[in-house]
Amino acid sequence: MAQDIKNSKDFEERAKGPFAHFFISGWNHLVRLMGVNVLFMLCNIPALAIAAGFAIVFMPGLINAFDLGKFISVPVNEGMITPIDTYAVSSQLLMLLYVFFIVSITASLLVCVGPFQAGFAQVYKDIRNGTSVSLFGSFKVGLKENWKKSLVSMFIGIFFTAVILLAVSFYLNMKTDVGIVIGTVFCVLFVAFILIQNFVYNLMVMTDLKLGQIYKNAILFILIRFAPCLALGIVAALFYVIIPFYLLMSASYVTLGVFVFLYSFVVVSWVQYGLSCYTGHLVDKYVAEEIKEEKSEDVELELDSKED
């Protein structure tokens, strides 16, 4: 586990639990988190373009695999529109389905601009630590100190996302028991990879580990704290998949307005900040223990040397 911590401070001064601290500090920095949310969308325009390419390639197979076509044809089947409008409505619903996909894989950091995300992770870290937080100042520090590792992580995210989406589409479209089982496994891996990528960007700004060690620790976090990470995975799936899908596919002006507001100003930064708080809690817990062990070993060595 990580031993070299950037801007280390007394672990005893940290909040006893990550959840209470998350809500209190998040509320105190509500406007700043909203600013991060807006900047995230603006800075990730290139990532949104890549995600759009992914949508063009993978969505046809995913629509068939998850039987999403029924959401496009429901109004027609219920006779809510005339046959003349069928094509227009279906096209609009299909477009909303693509928007859902693009926003989801970008907000979840599977496809994002890595160096910028390192900057946002630094902002989350400073908010959690209660240190002086300057949105652009903290962002600049995180970007400058971690741009190399975050750039590599960005390409890792793009590559493995493509592989997982291809596997899910391929196996679920087999329509066999074996295909469904394997496809379901890749769906679980998809959610796990979302957590891993979020842990990775946070660990970059919290530790001085090499990228390989960062990924190793991110995976260990999931294995060691499986139940809490499972809960976090469900929360991430709720805000990155279920809620946006419902809001967009409801296809009303009200739900579309709610979607635009939530995902432009609130949801992305709050979910990412929650994951940052939990990552910091794990780093504090396991690294603090190692530091204490190292200090006790140093004391023993000093005593031994004095006795000699």
Q: What is the mean pLDDT of residues 229-252?
A: 89
Q: Which of 12-16, 98-102, 151-155, 240-244 has the lowest mean pLDDT?
A: 12-16
Range of the domain at 297: 14-307
**Residue 214, pLDDT score:** 94
Above 60 in pLDDT, residue 84? no
Q: How many C-alpha atoms does 67 have within 13 Å on its Cβ side?
A: 4
Which has more confidence, 252 or 90?
A: 252
> The whole model's pTM is what?
0.84
Residue 9 in domain: no
Rounded to 5, what percent of the chain is helix, strand, coil?
Answer: 85, 0, 15
Q: List, for residues 87-120, the tens digit of each pLDDT value.
A: 666 778 888 889 999 999 999 999 999 999 999 9
The DSSP secondary-structure symbol of 11 reads: G
In 3D space, the residue among 246, 270, 285, 301 whose CA is nearest the CA of residue 97 turns out to be 246
Q: What is the mean pLDDT of residues 41-47?
A: 96
Domain count, the chain: 1
Q: What percent of the chain has pLDDT over 70?
A: 80
Query: Alpha carbon 308 to chain centroid distance?
Result: 54
Residue 95 in domain: yes
Long-range contacts (CB closer than 8 Å, 24 or more residues apart) made by 62-68:
62/101, 62/165, 62/168, 62/169, 63/97, 64/173, 65/168, 65/169, 65/172, 65/173, 65/183, 66/172, 68/97
Residues 2 and 217: beta-carbon distance below 8 Å:
yes
Indicate the average pLDDT of the chain: 84
Above 70 in pLDDT, residue 16? no
Above 80 in pLDDT, residue 223? yes
Highest mean pLDDT out of 83-97, 101-115, 222-236, 285-299: 101-115
Query: Alpha carbon 151 to chain centroid distance?
Result: 16
| Measured distance CA(164)–CA(162) in Å, rounded | 6
**Residue 6, pLDDT score:** 47
Residue 2 in domain: no
Residue 122 in domain: yes
**Residue 67, pLDDT score:** 78
Q: How many C-alpha atoms does 59 have within 13 Å on its Cβ side?
A: 18
Above 60 in pLDDT, residue 241? yes
| Measured distance CA(57)–CA(23) in Å, rounded | 39
Residue 56 in domain: yes
Which has more confidence, 21 or 155?
A: 155
**Residue 18, pLDDT score:** 66
Residue 44 in domain: yes
**Residue 72, pLDDT score:** 65
Residue 127 in domain: yes
